[in-house]
Amino acid sequence: MNPDLSALKPFLLFDGIWMKTEAKIPSPVRLNFSKDELIIKEGDYGIAVYEIISGKVGVYIDSGGTEVMVATLNPGMIIGEMTFLAGNTNPRSATVRAIEDCSLESWHPRMLASDYKQIPRALRHIVDRSLKRLVRMNKKISGISLQQRKVEENQARKSGGPSTERRSSYRKECNIGCAYRPKNSPKEVQLLGRVRDISKNGLQMVVKTSNSLKYSHVPGDEFLIITNLTPGQEVKMTAKIVNLRKGPTPASTIMGMSFLHMTHEDQKRLGFFLLR
């Protein structure tokens, strides 16, 4: 429910600080955030717009109680523009957290408001419609992701334990180290992770969030993975990130991945591993 902000006029909330609206338009402020520090929280009321000067940030949306990483933003990119363009009346639509030490420039909305008011009406109409489309689209994505997760959970429940006839497709919990790299990266690239469960269709892997500093880790990204499911038996696979969520520690991320390719031999090795 949106709180009634009318009593707070002539004050404006500037991400946690109420400011008198009669005050002079503040200059941009440089803010530094440490790795893992929260910058914006989904659902909060805040009106500042930020430009990333250095470092990277992660954008997360809540999907049925699970935080899903939807984007990694780089220097030069903007945070908080949707709230400003929506007229600063909506709560923050996503959580933003530093994934490495970063520096942001914070813009008070009044710095932008006078410029924005001068935009020709036609351009403003285009922006308003695009904003509505983006909000609709994000809701749809969040809905589909949630639905998909429910289907997967149901399938995992139905496949049950080792005694059921669908045993070969069940999700086996494990804790196995693996090496992986983006599909089109040089062979020398080696990132490390731990496979925490695996089925014939995909796996879940825990990785350091900092792995995404050099290489993109967003849904849709494809990786080559090498792991030893049993000692001395290397299994290679190509898999795509389906979803991302917070890992067991603040510096880790869990990647839900779907297999794209595996040789027949490796499929057999995986099959034996799942049956054991």
Binding site for another protein (CB under 8 A): 49, 51, 70-71, 76-78, 81-82, 84-85, 107, 111-112, 115-116, 119-123, 125-127, 129-131, 133-134, 136-138, 140-141, 144-145, 148, 151-152, 155, 219-220, 240, 242, 258
Nearer to another protein, 44 or 221 (CB): 221
Q: Edge-to-edge, what's the strand order for the sheet holding 29-33?
A: 29-33, 102-107, 49-54, 78-79
Give the single-character DSSP code of 243.
Answer: E
**Nearest approach, Cβ of residue 87 and another protein (Å):** 13
* Residue 230 tokens, joined: 């049993």
Which CB atom, from 15 or from 269, has the smaller least distance to another protein?
15
- The CB-of-77 to another protein minimum distance in angstroms stands at 6
Whose structure tokens read 């990266």?
185
Smaller CB separation from another protein, 1 or 123: 123
Smallest gap from Cβ 243 to another protein, in A, equals 9
- Strands ordered across the beta sheet of 57-63: 38-40, 95-98, 57-63, 66-73
Alpha carbon distance 65, 42 (integer Å): 12
| Secondary structure string (H, E, C) spanning 168-187 | HHCCEEEEEEEEEEECCCCC
| Closer CB to another protein, 12 or 269, in the complex | 12
Residue 122 Cβ vs another protein, minimum distance, rounded to whole Å: 5
